[in-house]
Structure 1
Amino acid sequence: MLSPFEWMIAKRYLWPGKGEAFIALVAGISVGVVMLSVAMLVIVMSVMNGFRAELLDKIVGLNGHAIVQAYGGRLENWEDVLARVKATPGVTDASPLIEQPLLTSFGGRVEAVFVRGQTDADIAALGEKVVLGDMRSLYQPSAQSGAGRVAIGMRLAQNIGARVGDTITIINPQGRTTPFGTSIRQIGYEVGAIFEVGIYDYDEKFVVLPIKDAQTLLLMGDSIGMIEVTVDDPDKVGQILAPVQKQLAGQAVISDWKTINSALFEALQVERVAMFFALSFMVLVAAFNILSSLVMLVRAKTRDIAIMRTMGATRRSLTKIFVTTGTTVGAIGTAAGLLLGAVVLYFREPIVDFIAFATGQEIWDPEVRFLSTLPSRTDPWEILGIVLLALTMSFLATLYPAFKAANTDPVQVLRYE
């Protein structure tokens, strides 16, 4: 704790006088560097956390936490397997799924797509992602049209020029075998809904339809392609499904979200650690700025320090004064950095749009970043770590000038006064 005398001197040194404009400038630069370093750490770590969390949420929202896939791509006795998976402790939901790469055509345009056959409940769950149309129309029969209905991604609709109510053709190269060869299977489907998940590849490739229609299109009979599984703890999905994996050995393989997207999430984790390490050096630079400003302050206040020593001020008091001065500079910069980081994160989308407009370059390309918008998710523990890092480095930077001031010999300083 500081005594009233120590706190009074520390406050005076925090605001140098009119004749010490250069010291004030250096101290202001120190506050600015701390502010920028903390803000950059907060912004970058929040964006990278948001990117990972948003990507995981969207991928899991479509594919679940794990996939049970039969060897050969067809699961015949899937009802038994589904019941076995649902009965496993830790599994919250499981549903059949068919996914197959095919072709679709409309208006003379042909695109490669992924056809997804899902249950009515899973299709209804995508209702919140619908931009145009109604997901319920996929599994509610039409009185005016005998054709089945599908839902397509927003970017796929833009690429082929299809709208709600249009009929697209899905082409299955593996058609029926006839005496004249294999006939390509082409079936027309009415577009009942257009959705936007937010992941570029999904919005560009996915065509969703009821699982019965998918079985008919792919000539699968009553079999399915896979079972998607959702668990209560995504990080322990391997442990939860280990008993099922043993029961299905030789019949099916289980792939969890970590395995399916391992390259992507490992790259994100490595980039996250590397960015935190690199940006931490900005805090070190800020600490050196605090050190240099305090060294100049000690040199400028050498006569004052000598007078205080002759008046009875102890070395401990002088050490506390300069440590408080430097640490306060670091604390002000840290608080300002947190505020700046919060403001930038709040207005991140307009800032990205402005930079793209000013430079003429696409800053956030969905084709590269997977997500349509710039995400952000702040981790309170990471913010606490950043604050502690900045304050610790600021405190350490004050020790040398504080000890230098405390060891000032008043006799040597005042000899020629």
Structure 2
Amino acid sequence: MIARRYLLPGRGEGFIFLVATIATGAVALGVAALVIVMSVMNGFRAELFDRILGLNGHAVIQGYGGKLEAWEPISARVRQLPGVTKATPLIEQPLMASFNNRVEGVLVRGMTMDDILGTKVMTENVKAGSLRDLKPGGNTVAIGARLAEALGARVGDTMSLISPQGEVTPFGSVPRIISYRIVSIFEVGIYDYDKAFVVMPMADAQTLLSLGNAVGMVEVVTTDPDKVGEILGPFADTVRPVAVINDWRSTNSSLFEALVVERTVMFWLLAIVILVAAFNILSSLVMLVRAKTRDIAILRTMGATRGATMRIFIFVGTVIGAAGIGAGVIVGFVVLNFREAITGGIARLTGAQLWDPSVRYLTELPSKTDPVEVVGIILLALLLSFLATLYPAWKASSTDPVEVLRYE
């Protein structure tokens, strides 16, 4: 009851109430910032992980020089390994694409039709046309949405692919230029892929690159991406004479390690905001104790123990912190829910593009809230709020009623 009365401003205590309100707002901002940033970082990693592995598998068995001749027995043997769910041939080759006097660097990707139609990252993100219109031997391709924008191409247009491995003539080597009809445009959500990918049936890629029956690599999918090294480790010595095994961690190690470092640093930097808010709680309680010194002395003479006095001010400070935490969690979830509208509105007001896909890899601001992390943030904020109450509460409990009421 006493703590509840102390939470409301008394006569001449407006400034103390203002400081307590500021402390509540500071806790709310700190908690909201932590929830938002950690959710965005988690979403960024999850989206990158899902989209990169959805296109490239968990590992590739890549032939030396970009050419794997006897890939069928390798694919059959790796499929028999425990933990391997899929092993399919794949061709990837950087080339040049031309359309309407525009030239762009592209990454030609040759896949089997079953693999193309089974890649959900592409089939679920088709913007125009249909991937089923890709026909082996029909000189048809599907391209990324950003590449289509750069070239100014649409479904039904014909683009040219330029391969340096052309025909040898008396005047030197002539690049091979073959025309392909665009039957589909997709957007997987990763800028670098959407800006470069040209997907075609395996047979057409082998013809374009003069590979015969060879492929570039065998793509492998396992039951657990985190254990891909253990699953494929025994097979590395077998394929070493003709190929090398690269898993997703070695291919994208710098990117995912940078995300881990950035996530850790951002957490502790934003935790400092909550620490600063806790100091605001401490200062407001110190002022409250000084303002209530006479009340505390009277309570002590009426039989209130030191422990009871401490509990009053610990309760006051913890309620201030809890109110800020509750408000911060609500604000955090609201901002995450409307994040696209908020970033779009700020971009329109300032004229600055806040989320540039060419820099951020992903075309949209991602979010994935981890309930365990949210609980951890709440507990951290509660702990700091509680610790901030201890000194003022101890100061209040050590008040000597004789000294305070001597001249009353």
Distance 2:241 2:378 in 1: 52
Which structure 2 residues correspond to residues 373-388 of structure 1 after superposition, within 5 A? 373-388=364-379
Which structure 2 residues correspond to residues 106-185 of structure 1 after superposition, within 5 A? 106-124=99-117, 125=119, 126-139=122-135, 147-185=138-176
Query: Structure 1 residue 268: deviation in Å?
Result: 1.1
Instruction: Note if 1:104 corresponds to 2:100.
Output: no
Correspondence for 2:303: 312
Query: Structure 1 residue 140: deviation in Å?
Result: 6.9
SS of 2:124's equivalent in the other structure is helix
Identity of aligned residues (%): 62
Query: Structure 1 residue 180: deviation in Å?
Result: 4.5
Which structure 2 residues correspond to residues 1-400 of structure 1 after superposition, within 5 A? 8-124=1-117, 125=119, 126-139=122-135, 147-400=138-391
Query: Structure 1 residue 18: deviation in Å?
Result: 4.0
Residue deviations 1:36-56 (CA, integer Å, cap 9, x gap): 000111111111111111111
Distance 1:318 1:348 in 2: 45
Distance 2:198 2:392 in 1: 67
Q: CA RMSD in A?
A: 1.2
Distance 1:381 1:90 in 2: 29
Instruction: Note if 1:403 corresponds to 2:394.
Output: yes
Counterpart contact for 2:97–2:162, Cα < 8 Å: yes
Query: Structure 1 residue 17: deviation in Å?
Result: 1.9
Distance 1:312 1:283 in 2: 37
Residue deviations 1:92-114 (CA, integer Å, cap 9, x gap): 22211000001111111111100
Correspondence for 1:5: none
Q: TM-score, normalised by structure 1?
A: 0.95
Counterpart contact for 2:148–2:154, Cα < 8 Å: yes
SS of 1:230's equivalent in the other structure is strand
Distance 2:50 2:81 in 1: 23
Residue deviations 1:98-151 (CA, integer Å, cap 9, x gap): 00001111111111100000111221132212100000000377xxxxx42100
Which runs of no fewer than 5 residues in structure 2 stay unpaired?
Answer: none
Distance 1:81 1:74 in 2: 13
Correspondence for 1:3: none
Which runs of no fewer than 5 residues in structure 1 stay unpaired?
Answer: 1-7, 142-146
Query: Structure 1 residue 83: deviation in Å?
Result: 1.0
SS of 2:245's equivalent in the other structure is strand
Give the length in aligned residue pairs. Answer: 405
Greater Cα shift, 291-300 or 241-250? 241-250
Letter of the 2:199 counterpart: V
Letter of the 2:125 counterpart: K
Distance 1:180 1:281 in 2: 69
Letter of the 1:170 counterpart: L
Greater Cα shift, 15-24 or 274-283? 15-24
Distance 2:318 2:46 in 1: 35
Which runs of structure 1 show a deviation greater than 6 angstroms over 4 or more consecutive aligned residues? none
Distance 1:294 1:236 in 2: 52
Distance 1:367 1:343 in 2: 27
Letter of the 2:123 counterpart: G
Counterpart contact for 2:146–2:195, Cα < 8 Å: yes
Greater Cα shift, 104-113 or 10-19? 10-19
Distance 1:140 1:180 in 2: 33
Query: Structure 1 residue 179: deviation in Å?
Result: 4.5
Give the direction of change, closer, same or farther, for the CA distance of 1:387–1:405 in structure 2 (3 Å limit).
same
SS of 1:340's equivalent in the other structure is helix
Distance 1:244 1:327 in 2: 58
Residue deviations 1:235-279 (CA, integer Å, cap 9, x gap): 111111111112212221111111111111111111111111111
Residue deviations 1:312-346 (CA, integer Å, cap 9, x gap): 11111111111111111111111111001001111
Query: Structure 1 residue 22: deviation in Å?
Result: 0.8
Q: TM-score, normalised by structure 2?
A: 0.97
Query: Structure 1 residue 184: deviation in Å?
Result: 1.6
Counterpart contact for 2:99–2:153, Cα < 8 Å: yes
